Structure 1
């Protein structure tokens, strides 16, 4: 295989989307084309255990019986990143590798986009949510496809809800605002000894950026322009979402 024509996976985490079979087909051609019968071995590097892809590899083997996939997993992300960069620089990198969606720009000069004849931008838009195009095809060239997509959920403490006589966990932001005051615990001096929810800041809030982005989108803010070349969230809707988010860390907010 031509190591200069690498196809990469994007890791966004969450609901698994099986794309290994789909992407590897780009390297070999469609079933009706002559590359379908090619004999080859593809190198695939990632940060997951091999069993995570075993079923996909077996499906792939049914379509391309003459092609083998050798998977190399890394325990350390730092080790993976360094080994991958060294291999790409030396021209000995894998045919397929994984990269985080926010790290694609750093590796973009070492890979080529998928040919439009193999997979078009229109098809990408039909197959995946808009965020995939934003992350992996910002200029129209498709450099990666996701193995998974993040899903944000609200985790709640049933014991805390029971103690506050809250029967059902909140399902909307309005209900969150109603429940939060009932869950806060103060000491005799009026200081908070137990907060109600981990929101409002960024240092100690996991996925703070994603949560704020979600609030902006739900509030009608446009995060980027149509060309994905400039940020546009500094709008009234964006400000309102930021104000709503930060109120949860404001001790004077009710």
Structure 2
């Protein structure tokens, strides 16, 4: 009888040991580190970037994790957000998707933040401290909430100044402006208006909303440069009428912007009759425009003989800090994904120095990693924009599309004399606060 009991208990012990071993093996598989046994097919959706931009990063990750496959699918900008929403609603969403840096409030409920505890691994994939050390400040502002990392940046684009070198040379202008006062002087020097009041040569595409690409970003940047805090974050309202010192800087910024389309002002150089800003700049109808880095490659491809340059965005004279405006898309992991850990492992690999360098080279985008900025600062295409990433700013937006429409209406209200500058800003403030609360 004793031998029989010993046999039974021994058998149970063996079963228990086998179960424990299986749990450990499965846990390590779920962890899926380099050389792990995890099996997963990851669907990665994005916009603007081609599959070739990610090819080397995907190949590198798959060589280290042979059981994981990553398939990238590119969508047009016009359909991308709608396709994502519909796919998630039907349970057919991707594992990974590119989110606009302003989407965290609007789409945060669809995101699984980076896990800090992974079965079978003794340390997190990436800590918040490492995030801060590796990426520019604006990334934390946009992608981290309550200490949790919701996305990893692979690039950060910024607003810079484009200028037509031929027009500058013809007007004896040797250098692009460093401060707005210098830009004002250049505007007065270049602008030509005929006897009928028509602008025959514009100096810069500024002052209106509909025919200036990224007009609302430019206005927000001017407000940030002036010291206005557009909103503090979740649960905080916006205050366009706040004062800095003795000035209502929101009003000053809006007036400065709209003065470029006001015929009664010295800086009048643009109006609603002009061509769309990008086209006008490429065709030499305006000497300058403010925009993001991705237009460099577009101009080089569409107009290879176009003699243009790029420069840092002008700053306020005497300001102690330089500020420009950020715009970028960052990969994140869907809450509905059944392969969240594998997906985050890929994103950590993609955003690493070795993973993101080929992406930066292929896409010609300014890097978000601090250790790559110095390397590309002398690049003739993205160097200016890369250096600006260190001082780029953003702001908390409840619904980016709605905010853009509200700010465009502010510009129009002033230009068409529907409201005073103060009334237009108060109206915008009220509309945005409705979205915030």
TM-score (ref. length: structure 1): 0.74
Q: Which moved more, 1:61-70 or 1:117-126?
A: 117-126
In 2: Cα distance, 1:249 partner to 1:149 partner: 30
Against the structure 1 CA distance between its residues 116 and 214, is the aligned structure 2 distance closer, same or farther, given a 3 Å change threshold? farther
Residue segments in structure 2 that go unaligned for 5+ positions in a row:
1-28, 118-123, 243-247, 267-437
Distance 1:79 1:244, change over 3 A: closer
Q: Which residue of 2 aligns with 1:87?
A: 87
Higher helix share: 2
Determine the C-alpha separation between the residues in 2 that align with 1:28 and 1:120.
19
2:74 paired residue number: 73
Equivalent residue, structure 2, for 1:158: 165
The answer to which of 120-129 and 95-104 deviates more is: 120-129
Matched, 1:246 2:258: yes
Task: Check 1:230–1:125 CA distance in 2 against 1; reply closer, same or farther (3 A cut).
Answer: farther
1:17 corresponds in structure 2 to none
Task: Measure the CA separation in 2 of the matches of 1:88 and 1:226.
Answer: 26
* Residue equivalent to 2:45: 45
Task: Write the distance in 2 (CA, Å) between the matches of 1:220 and 1:198.
Answer: 24
Flag the 1:41–1:105 CA change in 2: closer, same or farther, 3 A: same
Aligned residue among 185, 189, 194 for 1:182: 189
* Cα separation, 1, equivalents of 2:93 and 2:196: 61
CA distance in 1, matches of 2:194, 2:173: 21
Larger radius of gyration: 2
The residue matched to 1:168 in structure 2 has which SS? coil
Could you say which residue in structure 2 is the equivalent of 1:96? 96
Which one is further off, 47-56 or 227-236?
227-236
Aligned residue runs from structure 1 range 1-254, under 5 A: 29=31, 31=33, 36-47=36-47, 48-74=49-75, 76-117=76-117, 118=124, 119-138=126-145, 140-225=147-232, 229-235=236-242, 236-254=248-266
Q: Using the alignment, how far apart are the partners of 1:174 and 1:98 within structure 2?
A: 38
Q: What is the RMSD computed on CA atoms of the aligned residues?
A: 2.9
State TM-score, norm by structure 2: 0.46
- Regions of 4+ moved over 6 Å: none
SS in 2 for 1:41: strand
Question: How far did residue 205 of structure 1 move?
Answer: 1.3
1:189, CA displacement in angstroms?
3.8
Relative distance call for 1:82 and 1:244 in structure 2 (3 A) is closer
Alignment-derived partner of residue 13 in structure 1: none
SS of the residue 1:147 aligns to: coil
Change over 3 Å in CA distance of 1:169–1:111 after alignment to 2: closer
Q: Tell me, what secondary structure is at the counterpart of 1:57?
A: helix
Distance in 2, matches of 1:142 and 1:250, equals 45
Partner SS, residue 260 of structure 2: helix
Displacement of 1:56:
0.8
Name the CA distance, whole Å, in 1 between partners of 2:236 and 2:156: 22
Q: Are the equivalent residues in 2 in contact too, given 1:224–1:233 (CA < 8 A)? A: no
Structure 1 unaligned residues grouped into runs of 5+: 1-26
Deviations 1:62-121 (A, max 9, x none): 4323321122233x3344444433331222322111232344444333333223454455
With over 3 angstroms needed to count, the CA separation of the structure-2 counterparts of 1:71 and 1:223, relative to structure 1, is same
